Amino acid sequence: MTQVDFYLLPGDQRPQLLHFACRLVDKAYRLGHRVYIHTESAAQTRHLDDLLWTFQQNSFVPHAVFAETPDHPVPVQLGHDGEPDASHQVLINLAAEVPLFFSRFERVAELVNAEQSVRRHSRERYSFYKARGYPLRTHELDK
């Protein structure tokens, strides 16, 4: 059954949330996991695509935008309107809604900052997972 982790970040700035997403992707990639990042929009997909190249000096996370993925698979894919294949193990959800395909993944990471709309949507997602019996963990981060 899919394990769902909620990461509660301090502050209400979107750049901090996206930077944490990059760090989480980097960690999962280094552990050998295939990751799909589900974004809220095409603009966020492009921004995160750029950020994955620059978020950390001397770091490289091989990734591609889902619709532009070459024939050979890459360890990390980003997208907002596609449905990834079943080869990914970790889903990082940056959208307000639970993606319909979330249960294909071993792990789901829900990133939450202190922005009111983000918190409200995260409570709805938490209730969704809990009502269906998915194992939930919450991680309060202090930086």
Q: Is the pLDDT of residue 116 over 70?
A: yes
Question: What pLDDT shows up at residue 73?
Answer: 79
Question: What pLDDT shows up at residue 70?
Answer: 60
Q: Could you read off the pLDDT of 51-73 as tens digits, one per residue?
A: 999 898 887 899 999 876 566 77
What average pLDDT does the segment 114-143 reach?
95
Nearest to 28 by CA among 101, 103, 108: 108
Q: Who wins on pLDDT, 19 or 84? A: 19
How many folded domains does the chain comprise?
A: 1
Express as a percent the part of the chain with pLDDT over 70: 97
Dihedral over alpha carbons 77, 82, 88, 94 (to 10 degrees): 70
Whole domain around residue 91: which residue ranges? 3-140
Q: Tell me the CATH number at 13.
A: 3.40.50.10110
Q: Could you read off the pLDDT of 7-20 as tens digits, one per residue?
A: 999 998 889 999 99
Q: Is the pLDDT of residue 143 over 70?
A: no
Take residue 50 and report the two structure tokens written for it. Answer: 């750029």
Take residue 124 and report the two structure tokens written for it. Answer: 């709805």
Query: Global pTM?
Result: 0.94
